[in-house]
Amino acid sequence: MNILIIKLGATGDVVRTTTLLEKFTCGITWVTAAKNLPLLAGLQENLHSLSWEERHLAANKSYDLVINLEDTLEVGLFVQSLKFGRVFGAFLDTDNRLTYTDDSREWFDLSLISRFGKQAADRLKLENRRTYQDLVFAGLGFLFNGEAYRLPEPAWTNLVGDVAIAPEAGPVWPMKNWAYYDLLKEKLGARGLVVNVLPRRETLLEHLGDVRNHRCLVGGDSLPMHFALGVGARCVTLFTCTSPWEIHDYGLQQKIISPLLAEFFYQRGMDRRAITAISMENVCDAVMNQLEASVASSGIAKRPLETHCQPGKPARSVI
Average pLDDT, whole number, for the chain?
Answer: 92
Would you say 70 and 6 are in contact if contact means Cβ atoms under 8 Å apart? yes
pLDDT in tens, 20-35: 999 998 999 999 999 9
Of all residues in the chain, the percent with pLDDT exceeding 90 is 89
Task: Map residue 144 onto helix, strand or coil.
Answer: coil
Q: What is the pLDDT of residue 298?
A: 67
pLDDT in tens, 48-58: 999 999 999 99
Nearest to 133 by CA among 22, 248, 223: 248
pLDDT in tens, 259-281: 999 999 999 999 999 999 999 99
Q: What is the pLDDT of residue 79?
A: 97
List b or e across 106-117, with b for residues whose CB sees 16 or more CB atoms inside 10 angstroms.
Answer: bbbbbbebbeee
Would you say 14 and 7 are in contact if contact means Cβ atoms under 8 Å apart? yes
Query: Cα–Cα distance between 203 and 250 in angstroms, integer?
Result: 26
pLDDT in tens, 118-139: 999 999 999 999 999 999 999 9
Angstrom CA distances, 218 to 93, 140, 149, 181, 228, stand at: 43, 33, 19, 9, 10
Q: How confident is the model at residue 299 (pLDDT cuts 50, 70, 90)?
A: low
Q: DSSP character for 178? A: -
The average pLDDT across 46-70 equals 97
Q: How confident is the model at residue 313 (pLDDT cuts 50, 70, 90)?
A: very low
Task: Please name the amino acid found at residue 311.
Answer: P
* Sequence-separated (6 or more) residues with CB below 8 Å from residue 193: 161, 162, 163, 291, 305
Residue 85 pLDDT greater than 90, yes or no: yes
Residue 47: how many CB atoms within 10 A of its CB?
19
pTM of the complete model beyond 0.85:
yes
